[in-house]
Amino acid sequence: MNNFMYANPTEIIFGQGMIEKLKDVVPKAARVLMIYGGGSILRNGVYDQVKAALSEHTVIEFAGIEPNPHYETCLQAVTCIREQKIDFLLAVGGGSVLDATKFIAAAASYTGDDPWQILLDGGSSITQALPFGAVMTLPATGSEMNDGGVITRAATQEKLSFTSPHTFPAFSVLDPLTTYTLPTRQLANGLVDAFIHVMEQYLTDQHQALVQDYMAEAVVKVLIETSEAIIHQAPEYNSRANFMWAATWALNGWIGVGVPNDWATHAIGHELTALYGLDHAQTLAIVLPGVMVMEKAHKARKIMQLGRNVFGIDAIDDDALITQTIAAVEAWFHSVGMKTRLSDYQLDATAIDAICARFAERGWQLGEHRSIDAKRVREILTLRL
């Protein structure tokens, strides 16, 4: 196990009816900016629940955060914060709203010249941020209990991430009932996104960190066992609760401490979203099987461990176990209705050229061995045509 230092201070407020706790956990004297997206919270009753809980607070609203939230929109929210003398932010929605709120919290307190710098340096220039909490309605990103976010600059189609100890939510409310109205596509995206968050922290070298390994396996077992109910059956409380809580644990940091992390699948996927508008999880489901095949020289032992401990595969030899495990992962993506090929989205070698050009331009060398450069990305994506 590697050395590490980590704290995760976010308070989790979990369960049915818990949105009402906002009245206690949002500071009474705060001027609150309630940040949300395109209006789904207006239709599913969450907006009304939040407003009722905060009926004795001062609440100003900022709507219109996009999926893959835009830098430009975040800057509008920063302007609003300054004009309205806001001192607490409340994100209400999914991972995009929460990611945007984290960036807004940091940008509103930023002392440098240009907040784009926050994204260029991955968050290391953040020295303070407005306090914020969240009502998370979409199990997927884990943003409700971590310090990271991903922001897209619409003008240049750049999608960049940041983390900072200053951008943990003070609290996150997770009410599984808020997921009942989610469309199947978003549920499938959430399952796949959470699954691949675990893979980015688990599917690396053998590193003898048993707690992290077995906790990672615990999280993906829950995702796999609940997925049939989540995608194909009417909403049921425990399934939704288990899915929601597993998605939080997939990326709250604790399974990734003391072990190598990969994140190449995410980096390649971000480019597919930025250039071609695919949903984040759709890109991950295309890329991961290619990463598993091309990087199996050093991921072999963990791929086999995944096959044995999570998928229950008992193969005749190591090669068969690896092949069957990669197939099982892709089959699970298909079982939740997720496509796994570039051609499923009418993308061809032209898309590969475009993405590899970006990798080459930035000189990126990704993965836990820094072995995934533009040439390797071409090999990975060529497998996924």
Q: Give the residue from 149, 144, 66, 61 showing the smallest Cα distance to 107.
A: 149
Residue 210 binding its own copies, by CB under 8 A: yes
Residue 5 binding its own copies, by CB under 8 A: yes
Considering the complex, state which of residue 6 and residue 353 has its C-beta at the smaller distance from its own copies: 6
The binder of its own copies chosen from 63, 80, 215, 293 (CB under 8 A): 215
Distance in angstroms (rounded) separating the CA atoms of residues 10 and 1 = 25
199 burial (CB, 10 Å; 0-12 / 13-18 / 19+) is: buried
Residue 231 binding its own copies, by CB under 8 A: no
Q: How far is the CB of 133 from its own copies (least distance, A)?
A: 12
Residue 45 binding its own copies, by CB under 8 A: no
Q: Give the interface segment with its own copies, choosing from 38-46, 92-100, 150-158, 235-243 (CB under 8 A).
A: 235-243
Considering the complex, state which of residue 19 and residue 356 has its C-beta at the smaller distance from its own copies: 19
Considering the complex, state which of residue 54 and residue 173 has its C-beta at the smaller distance from its own copies: 173
Residue 77 binding its own copies, by CB under 8 A: no
Distance in angstroms (rounded) separating the CA atoms of residues 73 and 70 = 5
Q: Which two tokens stand for residue 108?
A: 């509103």
Q: How far is the CB of 14 from its own copies (least distance, A)?
A: 5
Residue 233 binding its own copies, by CB under 8 A: no
Q: Which two tokens stand for residue 215?
A: 């906790």
The binder of its own copies chosen from 151, 257, 288, 342 (CB under 8 A): 257
Contact call for residues 195 and 250 (beta carbons, < 8 A): yes
Which residue shows structure tokens 């898309």?
351
Q: Give the interface segment with its own copies, choosing from 13-21, 40-48, 91-99, 125-133 (CB under 8 A).
A: 13-21
* Contacting residues for 316 by C-beta, under 8 A, at least 6 apart: none
Question: Three-state SS for 129?
Answer: coil
The binder of its own copies chosen from 12, 191, 264, 272 (CB under 8 A): 12
Which residue shows structure tokens 């009418």?
346
- Mark residues 102-121: x for contact with its own copies by CB under 8 A, - for none: --------------------
Q: Which two tokens stand for residue 20?
A: 């009402």
Q: Where are the beta strands (DSSP E) in 265-309?
A: none
* Contacting residues for 5 by C-beta, under 8 A, at least 6 apart: none
Residue 8 binding its own copies, by CB under 8 A: yes
- Mark residues 152-181: x for contact with its own copies by CB under 8 A, - for none: -------------------x----------
* Contacting residues for 317 by C-beta, under 8 A, at least 6 apart: none
Binding stretches for its own copies (CB under 8 A): 1-18, 21, 171, 208-211, 214-215, 217-219, 221-222, 225-226, 238, 241-242, 245-246, 249, 257-258
